Structure 1
Amino acid sequence: MKLMVTRALTPAVEARVCAEFPDATFRNGAAPMTEAEAAAALASYDALLVTLGDQVRGAAFAGPLRAKIVANFGVGYNHIDAAAAKAHGITVTNTPGAVTDATADIALTLLLMSARRAGAGERFVRSGAWTGWTPTQFLGHHVSGKRVGIVGLGRIGTAIARRCHYGFGMEVVFHNRSTVTEPGLPARQVPLHELLAISDFVVIAVPATPQTHHLIGAAELARMQLHAHLINIARGDIVDEAALIAALQADQIAGAGLDVFEREPFVPEALRALDCVTLLPHLGTAALEVRDAMGFMALANLTAFRDGKVPPNAV
């Protein structure tokens, strides 16, 4: 198969790609593919290895199509029009499982940083303005023993819940679109409106779909407690970013920790200006071992398809 790889990958993954597909083309570069670039790639290659931000949707499917498989490097694939791909006989795969623990770790990183105002404190030290410890400086919120509400109890949501409960003695409530009879830890399923009203920390862990677009908007944020923090490690457009900025500016909630953004990589200046927000550049899976595992999983999907087998992670 003639393969295009849209971004630079880890050395170990690129070496294995070259071994399996000697004529692979590495597009590299930091910028994601536009729809026009994706259309050209779909017309010119048998297989694409794409990742977050590559616009494999809309007009990308309007022209001639040579590609038969689009292997996504990542679990979330809302940048790919999977329905259009299926309609044109193109298989789409992703990399679930490999990202679970790393993404859950980032959720806890953000939860702790937001609660304890670590981002603001770090900026304060770097500014040179710190004159020493005082009893009332950068007072945050305690985490241990508090209640966390997790929106979406899939693989990642469950991993976050386990860390919160067993690591910090937190009470776990969760909202899920389907009933979860055995969550695997002490946890209580509640409607979304109740979760928002009773949680000290709300963690978003649902996939980005048309149904979850702006799942958290002005009305939902208004239900949260004044001392509550919102953590999003899923996809940016699940939260109405303008509504979140307004809620934070009005002190409707105490803070937020975000690893994803609605128009990524664009982050509004109004959001960057808020000292009560911790902002990370989509670090959820940014660990060498994890990126290796993701790449090897994406490659396993490609090689299975090439060899006439069903890819293990078709979506």
Structure 2
Amino acid sequence: MKPSLLILIHLNDASRASIEAAFDVVYAPDSTRRSAAIAARGDTIRAVLTNGTTGLTAAEIDRMPQLELISALGAGYENLAVDHARSRGIVLVNGAGTNDHCVADHAFALLLAIVRDVPQLDRATRDGIWRDTLPMQPNVSGKRLGIVGLGNIGEKVARRGAGFDMDIAYHNRKPREGSALRYFDSVVALARWSDFLVVATPGGAGTHHLIGKPVFEALGPNGFVVNVSRGSVLDTAALAQALVTQTIAGAALDVYESEPHPPEALLTLRNVVLTPHVGGRSPEAITASVDNFLANATRHFAGKAVLTPI
């Protein structure tokens, strides 16, 4: 008999089909179906597939007495009730490493787009405006790139920056062992040194509004910030003020505090590029994430150690 699996996130047909081959799936990717599914099937659910944004609460965990495995599809798990799950002896896994290249690619796409003003130049071209009436934009190559969070994604961003002949430094809670990159012990100090700041740190209480007014002031009027981490890491109101007052030159965000609703304070500003949290989404990344989940789940229900524990 297949174990019962509650899926709380949207999946394409191919991903669902591969999972349904191994599980009795209860598919509930929105709040209404989620509540109904837990009410109707909570006592039979043995595994949950979610992500860091969608999460799983302690109250929901308590309504699933047979729950023994929780998986976040991607690397993030900030909205999972991790401690509560552990107190129940539930195994926790994530998709660490499955979409790192995709997120790093997107971070650089955003950086190039905002620094080189690609969206506005595209619009101007369509309106028949020639280059002589448009402001020139700075190079990306040869500049100073600061990375907030030198984890797997941050490290891949650094490797891409090296391809642009950039001088690269980073901030973590502590220096990363074995890294030859320059380390700053505060985000403000890193921002003061940087031309561009890419934020790739995990979400959660420890990084809430880590990127705020002091960081923007340190980054300065020629600086740009890119956020591909979690919306909660960056103070949206402070960013809007920094952009309006030209405290910084521009920002590009794939994530924001109001998800899935767009950040209203930024929508009318010219010096912002926004994408709808797609940094980790590509056919290759989704396939790898689903395969990783299935490998973890297969091992768990066979009594083996999981591959990517939280």
Normalised TM-score (structure 2): 0.92
> Which position in structure 1 is the counterpart of 2:5?
3
Q: Which residue of 1 aligns with 2:115?
A: 115
Aligned match of 1:253? 248
The match for 1:190 is: 184
CA distance in 2 between partners of 1:248 and 1:82 (Å): 36
1:232 equivalenced with 2:236 (yes/no): no
Q: TM-score, structure 1 length as denominator?
A: 0.90
RMSD value, Cα: 2.1
Distance 1:52 1:64, change over 3 A: closer
Distance 1:57 1:27, change over 3 A: closer
For residues 111-260 of structure 1, the aligned pairs below 5 Å read: 111-125=111-125, 128=126, 130-165=127-162, 167-183=163-179, 187-191=181-185, 192-260=187-255
SS in 1 for 2:206: coil
SS in structure 2 at match of 1:202? strand
Q: The residue matched to 1:169 in structure 2 has which SS?
A: coil
Offset of 1:133 from its aligned partner? 1.9
Q: 1:286 to 1:246 in 2, by over 3 A?
A: same
Per-residue CA deviations over 1:102-136 (Å, capped at 9, x if unaligned) read 000001000000101112223444xx5x2242334
CA distance in 2, matches of 1:294, 1:14: 12
Change (3 A) 1:171 1:34: farther
1:29-48 alignment runs, 5 A limit: 31=30, 36=35, 40=39, 42-48=42-48
Q: Distance between the aligned counterparts of 2:31 and 2:122, measured in 1?
A: 31
Matched residue SS, 1:157: helix
Q: What amino acid is the match of 1:71?
A: S
Aligned equivalent of 1:98? 98
Question: Is contact 1:33-1:54 (8 Å) kept?
Answer: no
How far off is 1:71 after superposition? 1.2
CA distance in 1, matches of 2:219, 2:211: 11
Aligned length: 306
- Contact kept in structure 1, 2:74 and 2:95, CA below 8 Å: yes
Residue 218 of structure 1: CA displacement? 1.5
SS at match of 2:49: strand
CA contact (8 A) 1:35 1:60 kept: no
SS of the residue 2:205 aligns to: coil
Seq. identity, %: 34
The Cα shift of 1:181 comes to 3.9
Amino acid at match of 2:300: F
Cross-structure match for 1:26: 27
* CA displacement at 1:142 relative to structure 2: 1.0
Residue 281 of structure 2 corresponds to residue 279 of structure 1:
no
The answer on whether the counterparts of 2:8 and 2:34 sit within 8 Å (CA) in structure 1 is no
